[in-house]
Chain A
């Protein structure tokens, strides 16, 4: 039986399990084995393969998580943390950002244009966000955007709209770097929204004092038809009141550097969030580079008998906090899609006006011009849907439906924009000389990713 299995091609290399080999296939498979065998190398028929060196670009490399700093325990676990109020409900239809939001967007746009965009290609290649880039992001205050003022942050009221605008502006520079830069702030925002006094006072000082730890929101799991509301990762209550966590998370941003994870796991039938420090034993990190968003150094996080104290539970145990977190994350991904889609539009516009075919700019042809028009139309619809959902969150209204509609539009139309962007550049769209192929890969993330970032 095991021999038979070994002869079957399915289940590996992207081959469906239903495939079988005929005699020719068996011969070809044998030749392939030989070609791969180091016998060839030993007899000097092929150059010695380079020693495989670990880089995060290689799938499946496993290592332990980084040692976290000692987060000094403070505050009372029994007391609720500080909260910011919802933003006021004006009841007036308005598309104008507040002055503060506009200032923030201007600042972040400059960072996106002058720091993120020039580093994007290399970071994508290296699957790593350069330290100076992330540092500059810290300097402009990305991690404390959603943190209450009383806890050292800058938010006086719920800053979901600012969060969405910032994510959009960052992704106009580069989505992968935007995700890397936003991840710690997302964890800080979560602490601000749901943390107890103890959780806020233990962790938030690290995010507000300058030496900001890498941190990640780990909700996604590598399963087909993954339903984020029913994670396979489990949390089991222990005799001492703590929890034992087991499972596998994916799309964990900069997992190898992260010192603090917010992990989604099911507890007594409800999905919950848990704060897990990277030094906790039982954690393993595995590189997991993907189609796009590569600068965010995506990883898998293995949780094998990880025990955390009772105070690790973040927010409610009834699934409400978790569901809210999922929505906030989806809106963030929508905003990222809007920013990257705008980058596509801004790039193809001069391109189609400059590129000539049949004696005139291709922009003069309706089939080309209409594609650009549709990018502009769908992009603006995506933007308005995203702002509407973010506005609901900021005002403390139910955002379930508006979030779902924004996500659907941004996943579908965002991908279409990526696709059309490459198409409009033709062969130039397919090569790395132009950034459009990267945006194409990045835009597929929307609708797939859960967690990682939130507003």
Chain B
């Protein structure tokens, strides 16, 4: 039965995340925006709390480690009983949106909640899942010469005995300095194209891997963004995630499967950040005597009210597309298309809403006395990483039009 309201059973989880965001993240939000590269000590406490909640089951499987997987048989059984499942993917997007209502940069710095954790959760085998339980993993894909065309990466992994030797340079590694593990994409054989690209888990302290420098950024300054150099870095062969076979038919699919799971998460970040802007702006406008009347036509109201309504409608669309993608993942329905739709819509809505709110609030919005300007900066990365707006459109277009990557480039 169609219902698009937030699942009732996740209400405690969401309100918990909201309280954390409000009472823990917001008070230090500006501090770590100013103090770029300072370690947010408050997060250690928070991470322990989140681990505790996960173990108690109160987290509903939410978080970077919970996405994408799940017991197929169990999911099937449950969906036969009640028709549909609201599981870890929905719980994750809802709680991540809530935390990003607090602060995107801090969410990205949350120990043991890295995008590398989602990659492990998505493609690791059972032995690896167990071995890498409890790690904090950053994700290293982008290179100085390669962004969106990740099939073109130059970093290589050469099998030598029972070890892989990794060589290359990775940039823009979120939580790259603070994480204790890095999931790195490298090619087994650059002549074999995308099918040869595999991901490897590299523990920090492994000789041959070093953090070269940290970036100074437009936003999400609380999150460390690192350049990592691999020089003759040796990892056990068992650290290759998924299958070591180079299967040209399956191609890139293994590595890309991660994205189907992480894109709704990034969409949720944009949704959360934009809602922070909307909530504050709605309040500021109300104080100035402007409130939206939802029953009256927008054009009969003030321009500010009409603008706010337009942004709310745009936001709600992004939010619902995000929930849809997560719900499909929970119910084992392939969601590549919907994940990209959510990411595309949420990415652009994140920018439109946060920047629109700065404009509506005038110099209050532009000044550092409020956080609106910060959200206007933080939101931009969400339309870039884990696949830019243009990459998402490309994926959606190929799927809708039924075209291959050779036809629609």
Contacts and interface: CB of A to CB of B under 8 A. Distances in A.
Interface in B302-324: 309-310, 312-314, 316-318, 320-321, 323-324
B7 A91 contact: yes
A401 B314 contact: no
A391 B397 contact: no
B151 to A, nearest CB: 18
Q: Kindly state the interface size class of chain A when it binds its partner.
A: 35 or more
Interface string A376-410: 11101110110110111001000011111110110
Contacts of A96: 1-2, 83-84
A6 B4 CA distance: 59
Contacts of B292: 404
A198 interface: no
A145 to B, nearest CB: 16
A94 B84 CA distance: 7
B53 interface: no
A87 B338 CA distance: 28
Contacts of A345: 400
A408 B313 contact: yes
Contacts of B4: 93, 95, 384, 387-388, 391
B350 to A, nearest CB: 14
Contacts of A370: 390, 393-394, 397
A327 B295 CA distance: 8
B344 A95 contact: no
Contacts of B6: 93
A409 B315 CA distance: 10
Interface in A88-102: 88-98, 101
Contacts of B309: 404-405, 408
Report whether over half of chain B's contact residues are helix, strand or loop; otherwise say mixed. helix
A451 to B, nearest CB: 13
A323 B300 CA distance: 16
A369 B393 CA distance: 8
Contacts of A390: 2
Interface string A349-389: 10011000000010110100110111011101110110110
A97 B396 contact: no
A424 to B, nearest CB: 12
B294 A93 contact: no
A409 B323 CA distance: 18
Nearest to A227: B300
A53 interface: no
B91 to A, nearest CB: 11
A378 B314 CA distance: 9
Instruction: With a 10 A CB-CB cut-off, give which of B312, B320, B324, B345 has the most chain A CB atoms.
Output: B320
B384 to A, nearest CB: 17
Instruction: With a 10 A CB-CB cut-off, give which of A96, A101, A402 has the most chain B CB atoms.
Output: A96
Interface in A309-365: 323, 326-327, 345, 349, 352-353, 361, 363-364
Given A91-B7, A227-B300, A405-B316, A98 B400 contact: no
Given A364-B407, A369-B397, A92 B8 contact: yes
B408 A384 contact: no
Contacts of B294: 400-401, 403-404
A98 B83 CA distance: 10
B5 A369 contact: no
Contacts of A225: 297, 299-300
A305 B257 CA distance: 69
B86 A384 contact: no
B80 interface: no
Contacts of B298: 408
Interface in B76-103: 82-84, 86, 90
A444 B84 CA distance: 36
A381 B318 contact: yes
A87 B1 contact: yes
A228 interface: yes
Given A385-B313, A405-B312, A405-B316, A92 B393 contact: no
A293 B37 CA distance: 59
A349 B408 CA distance: 14
Interface string B1-40: 1111111110000000000000000000000000000000
21 contacts: A93-B7, A95-B327, A96-B1, A226-B297, A229-B296, A349-B400, A361-B407, A364-B407, A366-B394, A366-B409, A369-B398, A378-B317, A378-B345, A381-B321, A385-B313, A385-B316, A385-B320, A387-B2, A392-B5, A408-B312, A409-B313
Interface of A: 87-98, 101, 161, 225-229, 323, 326-327, 345, 349, 352-353, 361, 363-364, 366, 369-370, 372-374, 376-378, 380-382, 384-385, 387-388, 390-392, 395, 400-406, 408-409, 412
Return the 9 tightest CB-CB contacts between A and B, nearest first.
A91-B8, A381-B317, A404-B294, A408-B313, A369-B397, A384-B320, A388-B4, A373-B397, A373-B396
Given A93-B5, A412-B310, 14 more contacts: A90-B1, A90-B3, A91-B8, A92-B9, A93-B7, A226-B297, A228-B297, A369-B403, A376-B396, A377-B341, A380-B341, A384-B321, A385-B316, A391-B3
